[in-house]
């Protein structure tokens, strides 16, 4: 082979590899590439061990007895998955109904804007994002409403990612991110004009604990909306296939047992909220939320090859392949949950903290 042919072959291979990793790699949003995959705040050599610990803790979600440990394992889970989520899904870690003729990104943004429209927020209000991830919803909501959004997440790596994205988007004057546990929030009583949570409170072992914290920090008369992950009225606990699907969702998403849709309003009332509205946003005429997962099948295989190669080369931490495989299987359980209608990730509840009772006059 002469040197020109050798040079052209080399250039073609290098170009092909660059295209496969860097162009095809970031499936949804530029900013996180396959070559940048990390274990969040976990050092590269500990990723595999942390994955094993996570998996043995969440293997039997219904049997988790020491619920105090749940937030720590949820934190570990987000160290393991945050980069993969950003790389393969984008900066908003939630689902939304598909909208014919609109991109996933637009459908996601509309689902987020609906949340803030529901809580009736004015420009300049201070609102709370409970379980904010890397802040995709927070930025959409701040730009749409011009409210000041304070997000809380248990995962420090997400805090850093969210702050970076806020700065890049020029929204750091409207968006603040705090690292903390939403079961014991570092905020004073009656200090927010509204609150929302998008697919986050499902991580709380007891919904009552997080709802009562949200109730505490809200000003009287203000509104809270949540998109909850729940089993629907089609779920039959005596059907082994249903149980397998729900358990698959719980294991692969760090959930200490999915709740029934019936428990949501009941818990909200128990902590003192008035329930204004409740609706499963996945029900027709809404278009399926799980089509995005199904359509991604080829991308998953490409990602699997990429992750395997990068891990073998020592670029991605050892253990990334296991985490990716877990997510791959989870996507399948989520799709089955959606198709059978036994599960929804968007059971919407809108609540109001009652006005303070007026002082009694003698």
Ligand X SMILES: C=C(CC[C@@H](C)[C@H]1CC[C@H]2C3=CC[C@H]4[C@H](C)[C@@H](O)CC[C@]4(C)[C@H]3CC[C@]12C)C(C)C
Ligand Y SMILES: C[S@@+](CC[C@H](N)C(=O)[O-])C[C@H]1O[C@@H](n2cnc3c(N)ncnc32)[C@H](O)[C@@H]1O
330 contacts ligand X (rule: CB under 6 A): yes
211 contacts ligand Y (rule: CB under 6 A): no
Q: What is the greatest pairwise CA distance in the chain? A: 103
Please report the DSSP string for 8-54 in residue order: HHHHHHHHHHHIIIIISS-SS-TT--GGG---TTS-GGGHHHHHHHH
Question: 255 or 306, CB closer to ligand Y?
Answer: 255
CB of 253 to ligand Y, least distance (A): 8
CB of 277 to ligand X, least distance (A): 22
Binding mask 112-151 for ligand Y (x = CB under 6 A): -------------------xxx--xx--------------
SS3 category, 346: strand
SS3 category, 157: helix
CB-nearest residue to ligand X:
88
Question: 148 or 155, CB closer to ligand X?
Answer: 155
Binding mask 200-219 for ligand X (x = CB under 6 A): --x-----------------
Q: Are 39 and 319 a contacting pair, CB within 8 Å?
A: yes
From ligand Y, ligand X, none, which one binds at residue 328 (CB under 5 to 8 Å depending on kind)? ligand X
Q: Are 211 and 271 a contacting pair, CB within 8 Å?
A: yes
Compute how many residues bind ligand Y; rule: CB under 6 A: 23
Please report the DSSP string for 98-134 in residue order: B-TTS-HHHHHHHHHHHHHHHTT--TT-EEEEES-TT
CB of 94 to ligand X, least distance (A): 5
Which residues on adjacent β-strands are paired with residue 347? Answer: 228, 280
108 contacts ligand Y (rule: CB under 6 A): no
Phi/psi of residue 287, each to 5°? -85, 150
User: Can you say how many angstroms the Cα of residue 209 is from the centroid of all Cα atoms in its chain?
Assistant: 19
111: number of Cβ within 10 Å: 23
Binding mask 55-94 for ligand X (x = CB under 6 A): -----------------------------xx--xx---xx
226 contacts ligand Y (rule: CB under 6 A): no
198 contacts ligand Y (rule: CB under 6 A): yes
């Amino acid at each position: 082979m002469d040197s020109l042919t050798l040079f052209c072959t080399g250039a073609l291979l290098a170009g092909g590899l660059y295209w496969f990793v860097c162009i095809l790699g970031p499936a949804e949003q530029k900013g996180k590439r396959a070559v940048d995959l990390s274990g969040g705040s976990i050092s590269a050599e500990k990723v595999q061990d942390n994955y094993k610990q996570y998996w043995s803790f969440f293997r039997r979600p219904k049997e988790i007895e020491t619920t105090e440990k749940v937030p720590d394992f949820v934190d570990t889970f987000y160290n393991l998955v945050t980069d993969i989520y950003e790389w393969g899904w984008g900066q908003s870690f939630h689902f939304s109904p598909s909208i014919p003729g609109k991109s996933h990104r637009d459908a996601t943004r509309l689902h987020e804007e609906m949340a803030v429209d529901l809580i009736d927020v004015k420009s300049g209000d201070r609102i709370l994002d409970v379980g904010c991830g890397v802040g995709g919803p927070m930025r959409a909501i701040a730009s749409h409403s011009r409210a000041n959004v304070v997000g809380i997440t248990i995962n420090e790596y997400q805090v850093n990612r969210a702050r970076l994205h806020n700065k890049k988007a020029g929204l750091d004057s409207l968006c603040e991110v705090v690292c903390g546990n939403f079961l014991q929030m570092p905020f004073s009583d009656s200090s927010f004009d509204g609150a929302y949570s998008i697919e986050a409170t499902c991580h709380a072992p007891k919904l009552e604990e997080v709802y009562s914290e949200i109730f505490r920090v809200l000003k009287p008369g203000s509104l809270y909306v949540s998109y909850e992950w729940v089993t629907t009225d089609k779920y039959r606990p005596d059907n082994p296939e249903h149980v397998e699907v729900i358990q698959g969702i719980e294991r692969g998403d760090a959930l200490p047992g999915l709740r029934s849709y019936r428990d949501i309003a009941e818990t909200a009332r128990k902590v003192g909220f008035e329930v204004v509205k409740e609706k499963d946003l996945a029900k027709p005429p809404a278009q399926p939320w799980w089509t995005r997962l199904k359509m991604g099948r080829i991308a998953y295989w490409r990602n699997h090859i990429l992750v395997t190669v990068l891990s073998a080369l020592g670029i991605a931490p050892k253990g990334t392949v296991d985490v990716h495989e877990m997510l791959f299987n989870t996507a399948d359980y989520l799709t089955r949950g959606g198709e059978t209608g036994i599960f929804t990730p968007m059971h919407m509840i809108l609540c109001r903290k009652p006005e303070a009772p007026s002082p009694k006059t003698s």
